Structure 1
Amino acid sequence: MAPPDNDRPGSGSSGTPGQGSSGAQGSSGGFGWLYGKDGAAEPPPPAPRGRPQPDQPEATRVMPVQPRPDGAPPPRTAPRGSSVTPGRPSPAPAPGGAAGSGGTPPPPPPPGGGGSGGSGGSGVGGWFARRLRRPRFYVRTVLLVLLLWVVYTVAVPFVTWSTSEQVAFEPDGDRPAEQDGTTYLLVGNDSRAGLTAEQRKQLSTGNPDVNLTDTIMLLHTGSGPNVLLSVPRDTEVDMPGYGTSKINSAYARGGAPLLVEVLENETGIRIDEYVQIGLGGVADVVDAVGGIEVCPVERIKDKAAGLNIKKGCQTVDGTTALAYSRSRKQSALGDLERVRRQREVVSAVGTAVLSPWTVINPVRWYRLNKAVPTFFTFGEGMSSVGAAKWALAMTRVDGTQGLTCTVPVTDGSATTWDRDRADPLFGAIADDDTDRITDDQCTPNGVRP
């Protein structure tokens, strides 16, 4: 027989403090099993050990949220360490099995094919491809090319011209005082030394023992127009130690110092620098610049000089240019016409040297400067900068930017100078006041107009 209800533990009639009817009622709601009440439900099954399922997160790891006013359920919060994004369904595994771990498909390759050699890779090819897409790459490349070109253009003359031979040219004894401006003596030596038999035949130079200066020019630069003045080779002068002789024999007898002494005594002009050109130098320089334009005023056929050229302007090579500047027997004025053609060739070479194509073309620029030390000789003390100044001055005597003259002579024989016109011309150069030179004093062949 079961005991009455009031005799059971927790009965309200037992008078036990803290246990009234309300306590029994509360115990029978869900915890009756704990008090041994009849009909109580079995205890809930224990929670499975291990990691909580994604849809049932552990209660201690879920942060409480405030209920929303509209009654919508709060978003689910993924437990710490879970790879599931809250509010998003997990991706379905790829058909046929997953390529990666956990059934997640591999990420798509980057654009461009990827890989170390592709344009979008991280290798050398990809790095270079990315550089090509940047505007700064092209700007820097252009600047680098320009810098290298400037260095090359400046360095080549300094390197090649520094190897040129230098000779003493200043005479002993009294000389004219220092003068304003700069006066260069340009000598075309007719020496065949250094030329092979084949070269002498090609250039029609003849006797290899000849050592005369058939080209003698004074180039003055200063405050006024540049002046290129030719001295006729047959001029008779007082030559110290040799009496009266033709001026072109001074070099063969006493070298550059004797020639400078004779010219300074006859003109009163102090010579500051000396430049000597061999026969082969003219041909090489002309060929290096791609030829020059000359304008013969008549047809010339000179077998001795190896020249056969028609009348009118035309482009000629080095061999023809040299023959054109040496020929004298087929012209009525002889040597006076020859010195005019020599100045024409010099001016044409200067124009070609300064043409943009000569400077821009690295091959032509190198050939031009390489020809200098082979056939050019400078006076002692001539620096590379001084040689460059001389070369630049030679480009400014083409008749439009400077004056080209022949020493005034009394007649076509060119043996005697016309002192009435020659001395004022010499004085203007010595005073560096070339603006006062008149047309009567400066003529192409030295004959009074």
Structure 2
Amino acid sequence: MKVLLRAATVYNPQSEFHLQQQNILIENGTITYIGPDELEADKVITADGLSVSAGWVDMHAYAGEPGLEYKEDLESLAAAAAAGGFTQVLLLPNTEPVVQTKGAINFIKNRSHTLPVTLLPAAAVTVDAQGKDLTEMIDLHQSGAVAFTDGTHPLQGADVILKALQYLQPFNGLLMNRPEHTRLTESGQMHEGEASTRLGMKGIPSLAEEVTVTRDLQLLRYAGGKIHFSLISTAATIEAIRKAKAEGLQVTCDMASFQTAFTDETLEPFDTNYKVKPPFRSAADAAAIKEGLQDGTIDALVSAHMPQDVEAKKLEFDLAEFGITNLETAFAVANTTLELPLELLIEKFTTGPRRILGLPEARMAVGEAANLTIFAPNQTWTPEADKSKSRSHNSPFFGRELKGRVLGTIHSGQLVLNDSF
């Protein structure tokens, strides 16, 4: 099949056509022409502001399969990811059972072969993600685990993190941790501040994130290796990571693309679709996040896709589960709220994640396999629950106008176009 992208602006620093408007022909999954000529094709894609980049990579998404398929199975996650412009997605290991065996890794890899999105398995650091005994990380790495994390269970023990850093070094493995001191966040519902006091909710203090980052960086200085912090949210965290990078430590971090969409003062009180962890923080934290993205302290943007069924969300706020669905809206939310130059925004979904995970760059050049995301950055649209590809619909963005539409993806020889295109 021949697919022509007509007059598409290229966002790919590895390509000689970066920031140029070109016609791009893809034949049977391979780029065969980039230039000004108008060529024949079976499918011609054209749109106002048509843009194309290397396929987007998400570093933080949750699928319930196996064990919790009613929240999200691998097929529905892949469909939502493709609709959101992602061609590769790192999966958290918190399924039932936990992803901690060769069989579990191979199950995810084999399922990827029939899906429009490559699923990248992350394996647990500790057995059953309980924070105690280390898993067989060398064997899991050899089986295809891309990174190691306990996912939704932040690592608490300094001894465990120290051993993991040392254990991973022989094969340059990546340790990922969501920084949260769980004893400080116990029963917390939203950011600790004036708004939480006014609403009578137990707060989640910034300190819980910041002391964990400080500790983990000290362990990194001692043990060596590399660490990645998932879903950072506070000004002090960003400053600590900024200093650590300047010091030469191998540290990277990401943030949820929706983290600055609301603050603790602007979220809808008691609406459980706004209940996320880390929580929506203060306006000062949001400003620090934008600065951290601009200066490169924050390496990547992620969906933080956490599907929850109706029974987990349609409850009193303090009983409801944390998390929102965001694979389909990750780019649009970031494009609408972060005020970043488009070139830099795309970098946070492409170059940044690939560098952190050790994935090869997707270069747009003749003869290269097409791993592409097709989008229109200035087009507006309104996400609707009944059109979502996800099995769960816990999102505060349904019914809100967003700027930036994904038109489709081309990956592994498959063209996926959004229904609305």
Q: TM-score if structure 2 supplies the norm length?
A: 0.19
Instruction: Give the number of the structure whose residues are more often helix, by fraction.
Output: 1
Q: TM-score if structure 1 supplies the norm length?
A: 0.18
Instruction: Give the number of the structure whose residues are more often strand, by fraction.
Output: 2
Please say which structure displays the higher CA radius of gyration: 1
